[in-house]
Structure 1
Amino acid sequence: MTDAKTVHAFCDDALGGLDATAIATLIARGELSPREVAEAAIARAKRLEPYINAIELPLFDTALDAASAAASGAFAGVPTFIKDNTDLKGLPTNQGSAAVNARPAKEDGAFAKQLLAQGFVTLGKSRMPEFGFNASTEYMGLNPVRNPWHLDYSSGASSGGAAALVAAGVVPIAHANDGGGSIRIPAAACGLVGLKPTRGRFIDAEASSSLPVNIVGEGVVTRTVRDTARFFAGMEQVYRNRRLPGVGAVEGPGKRRLRVGLVLDSINGAPTDAATRETVLQTARLLESLGHRVSEMPLNIKPSFADDFSIYWGMLSFLVSTFGKQLMSPDFDKRMLDNLSVGLARHYRKNALKTPAVLYRLKKSQDDYARNFGDYDVVLSPVLSHTTPKLGWLSPEQDFDSLFERLLQYVSFTPLNNATGSPAISLPLGATAEGLPIAVHFSGAHGDEKTLLELAFELEQAKGGFRRIEDFARA
């Protein structure tokens, strides 16, 4: 299970080394029962949680009762966790913040209903940083979520708890969402597949649907491409947005050879480190060997984008800190906010007069982004400008100015897809000298998750499958 710094829960139980698709298939055939699968996952969670600290609220007794009830859907009987910014009936939604102190939700949230209709057995809520603002799941005065590949490193964020649980083998799939990279960043840090959907692909969570620019995409993190593809197909059986092309059942590589645009440097000028750059270039060479055409491309995005997104990021913190009692809980206590939330709100107040222009440009960025796809089918880039940092580098215990600058340097590729509403996927295609995962990022045209999934299948097969944490631990 552990070699001091690397931990995982894979063992010879009902879950074994299976992905969610395999577990769902065995349950449907009657070869596994949902209860024995839930029992195995709970045992794994109890064994690993002291190491990774990824669970916000356990629901183990309720999960065993739910596993004993009949369920239907693409993942009937498969155990999972729901992120702590999504309402589940009977549980508080504390948004990863000590300031919130929420009352138990009266019903499942709108998105949660769509997700749970796939038959998942919910084991509890996963941890996240305060309001999802950080790119590492760390706290002031509390233990962080730790990366199971190496416990001294960040698991990413804001879906850092979900990613740690899936990477460590506690569950094969977990809910995640993405307002600036929060599916793709933890997927990159923990060696997982993370696909941010097109805006409107799924039913929106209530809070995100009310935003002036809806930057939040819902989804999952998984260990295999087929689990992510099955999730998208299953969600489409529950709700289909007729304004978007259907994704359908994607089950393998596509036959079409793609025009791939290569972007190595970020919009804000943050340098890409050598290991990350080499992983992207190796992926480009692999794509060419598979018959795809790769060429460097200029990114048609206004230079103001990075500043605009930072101001919008600050605006969200300002709204939370100012109206927390109305938006979150009557017991909201702004004195408990961390340094990042306080600093972001202050950053917005300094720039508040720019709000109309910022919102206008962010909304127009969708049109700018779309023009990139006249000559290209997908865009290849880093997920992040440098490899996963050690815990503490992005801690909210840092002073705001230092932390903010580090975040701007680190998270310089992913926010574009949030503002534009476009789909993008993180795939674990490289490794650091220490063996930690390095991911690459593919962005697609609006509504074209299908191409991203087909390409992900092809790369997964070309690599003989993505690296697994238990193999790394044995090496």
Structure 2
Amino acid sequence: MVNSRDALAIGRLDAHAQADLVRSGELSARELVEAAIARIEALDPALNAVTYRAFEQALQKASTLNGDSALRGVPYLLKDGMDYAGMPSRSGSRLKKNAPPMSTGSEYSNRLDRAGLIPLGKTNAPEFGLLPTTEPVLYGPSRNPWNVAHSSGGSSGGAGAVVASGMVALAHAADGGGSIRIPASCCGVFGLKSSRGANVRARGPHIIEDFLVGDTLLSRSVRDAAWAFAVTAPEQKQPLTFNPKSRRLRIGFALENFNDEQPSPDVAAVIRRSAELCQRLGHTVEEIKRPFDGPAVDRAFKLIWAYLAQDLVSSSRASLREGRLEDVLEPWTMNLGASSESLTLTDVDRIFVEAATAGRALEAFYSRYDVLLTPVLRHSPLPLGALAPTQAFEPMYARMFDYVSYTPLQNLTGTPAMSVPLYMNENGLPVGSMFAAGRGRDELLLQLAFELEQAEPWAARWPKFSVGA
């Protein structure tokens, strides 16, 4: 049995270092899981990031684990809504609060099983992943480990909080409009949203979700993220490692959002510092104007997000056995879905035309540059309540899409992007820097991330509510 002090010390290690303890025989996989359970029990009461605990299931799995993969025996957490055998998928919704355990998992979670990771349960997420904050009525808010009055981001906000605090070294996250990069930015961890089709299927076939969503494991180290990217690729590959002689890149950085507005001054300062760091590392860096039609991308994302909400509302209505839908779905979900009712078939056409147009604009940009650097979000982490799903719809709609007015570009175009936790703002909150590349250039981004991590390490930077406090 690992004592509480050692459990916290283990939590300060990344997944590779934790796996080394098992490989060397210093700890068993079961002891690694016991240590993670102790950290969750110590830290989660302040953060409310873990919504389903499958501790006995995890301990049993650890005791019977076979194989010799690189991260064998490392505990992690799944996002609520990711199917896994023996655990319910509630999607942050009161509609599913009594959902029974699933009988099967996804190919994505099965791949992680085969790689020897051990799931401890599920993390907090907003209803159906429709918000960039994690404040569902079902579970209550997930709090930011740096300042519990602020949001941990969304929709993978619980995942961001558990990794930032050191409860676990890895946590599953999914990104349909920024939901990997947003919590990574808000919580000060690393998050790569991969190219469309770069990971195995993580959910059932769905035209909008297949078009928009990518999956990853949030982590504190780039090597852990590179491993996750490789092991969940359709054709499994060897994880990328740091090459200190990698070629110098042409990086363009832009500050304005989709609607030609500047980010808040603290966010702008972080992006400029990140650009200066890249320049010191020998990359060619140039400030540019946004290289695509921002208002068109903004329109397209608002349209497809409303259609997604309407699809979720319709399927929820069909599954409701008794009672009123508005008693089990949040106002944000209901009203966002209703906003699609006035849309026409021409609007559907516009979504895909404008997404394709943005894709061509990015192809032209990436023929001249290797990487685009922008903010992840227009503001640093918002106070809890600012985007709560019970807020009045019209002002909430404007605030929400303004807040996320950078990340949806890569979802619509199928291109990769990552949030890198290089710097903090003057109030001690993390502000991620978003680096994006052309489709299929995920490993180019990871190689840059390795270099940035070495030049401006963040491993020793821990929030107030964490194993390192």
Give the TM-score, by structure 2 length: 0.92
Q: What does 1:237-276 correspond to in 2, within 5 Å?
A: 239-240=234-235, 248-276=239-267
Q: Does the 8 Å CA contact 1:179/1:418 hold for their aligned counterparts? A: yes
Q: Which residue of 2 aligns with 1:12?
A: 6
3-state SS in 2 of match to 1:464 = coil
Q: Distance in 2 between matches of 1:220 and 1:65?
A: 23
Which digits, 9 at most, give the CA deviation of each residue in 1:61-116, with x for residues without a partner?
Answer: 11100111123333210000111111111222111111234343221112221232
Q: For 1:160-175, what aligned pairs fall within 5 Å after superposition?
A: 160-175=157-172
Counterpart residue identity of residue 89, structure 2: T
1:125 matched to which residue of 2? 122
Tell me the equivalent position of 2:381: 388
Rounded to whole Å, the distance in 2 between the matches of 1:406 and 1:317 is 17
Q: Distance in 1 between matches of 2:147 and 2:434?
A: 22
Deviations 1:31-53 (A, max 9, x none): 22101010010011111121111
Q: Name the SS of the counterpart of 1:445 in structure 2.
A: coil
Matched, 1:288 2:284: no
Equivalent of 2:83 in 83, 87, 90: 87
1:201-216 maps to which residues of 2 (within 5 A)?
Answer: 201-207=198-204, 209-211=206-208, 214-216=211-213
- TM-aligned CA deviation for residue 405 of structure 1: 1.0
The verdict on how the C-alpha distance between 1:467 and 1:363 changes in structure 2, with shifts beyond 3 A counting, is farther
Instruction: Quote the Cα distance in structure 1 between the aligned partners of 2:238 and 2:255.
Output: 28
Report 1:89-128 matches (<5 A): 89-101=85-97, 102-128=99-125
Identical counterparts, % of pairs: 37
CA displacement at 1:285 relative to structure 2? 0.9
| 1:470 to partner: Cα distance | 5.2
The number of equivalent residue pairs is 460
Bigger Cα displacement from structure 2, 50-59 vs 346-355? 346-355
- Deviation of 1:298 (Å): 3.3
Decide whether aligned partners of structure 1 residues 470 and 262 sit closer, same or farther in structure 2, where only a CA change above 3 A counts. Answer: closer
Residues 111-164 of structure 1: per-residue CA shift (max 9 Å, x gap): 221232221111001110001000100123752010111111100000111111
Distance in 1 (CA, whole Å) between partners of 2:18 and 2:244 is: 22
- Which sections of structure 2, spanning at least 5 residues, go unmatched? none
Q: Tell me how far 1:226 sits from its aligned partner.
A: 1.2
**What displacement does 1:271 show?**
2.9
Any conservation in 2 of the 1:428–1:466 contact (CA below 8 Å)? no
Q: Say whether residues 1:413 and 2:413 are aligned partners.
A: no
Do the aligned partners of 2:124 and 2:139 also contact (CA within 8 Å) in 1?
no
Does structure 2 retain, via aligned residues, the 8 Å contact 1:10–1:470? Answer: no
8 A Cα contact 1:254 1:455, kept in partner: no
Shift of 1:367: 2.7
Contact 1:201–1:240 (CA under 8 A) maintained in structure 2: no
Counterpart Cα distance in 2 of 1:96 and 1:71: 33
Say if 2:79 and 2:124, in contact at 8 Å, map to a contact too: yes
CA distance in 1, matches of 2:395, 2:460: 34
Residues 208, 215 of structure 1: 8 Å contact kept: no
Conserved 8 A contact 1:253-1:456: no
Classify the secondary structure of the residue corresponding to 1:201.
coil
Moved more, 346-355 or 184-193: 346-355
Q: Deviations over 1:154-190 (max 9, x none)?
A: 0000011111111111101111110000000000000
Q: Per-residue deviation at 1:209?
A: 4.6
Alignment partner, residue 78 of structure 1: 74
Which residue of structure 2 lines up, in the alignment, with residue 193 of structure 1? 190
- State whether structure 2 residue 458 is matched by structure 1 residue 461: no
- Could you tell me how far apart the structure 1 residues matched to 2:441 and 2:120 are? 32
CA distance in 1 between partners of 2:292 and 2:403 (Å):
19
**In structure 1, distance between residues paired with 2:89 and 2:412:** 25
Identify the residue that residue 345 of structure 1 maps to in structure 2: 337
Q: Per-residue deviation at 1:426?
A: 0.2
Cα distance in 2 for partners of 1:235, 1:391 equals 33
Q: Which residue is 1:36 aligned to? A: 31
CA distance in 1, matches of 2:431, 2:16: 25
- Give the 3 Å change call, closer, same or farther, for CA 366–212 of structure 1 in structure 2: farther
Residues 82, 124 of structure 1: 8 Å contact kept: yes
Against the structure 1 CA distance between its residues 461 and 343, is the aligned structure 2 distance closer, same or farther, given a 3 Å change threshold? same
**Matches of 2:217 and 2:139 in 1, distance apart?**
26
SS of 2:268's equivalent? Answer: helix
* Residue 37 of structure 2 is aligned to residue 23 of structure 1: no
Q: For the Cα contact (< 8 Å) 2:418–2:436, is it kept in 1?
A: yes
CA RMSD, 1 decimal: 2.3
Task: Label 1:352 to 1:55 Cα distance change in 2 as closer, same or farther (>3 A).
Answer: farther
Equivalence for 1:4: none
1:350 aligns to what SS in structure 2?
A: coil
User: Aligned partners of 1:103 and 1:280: how far apart in 2?
Assistant: 45
CA contact (8 A) 1:193 1:225 kept: yes
**More off after superposition, 356-365 vs 438-447:** 356-365
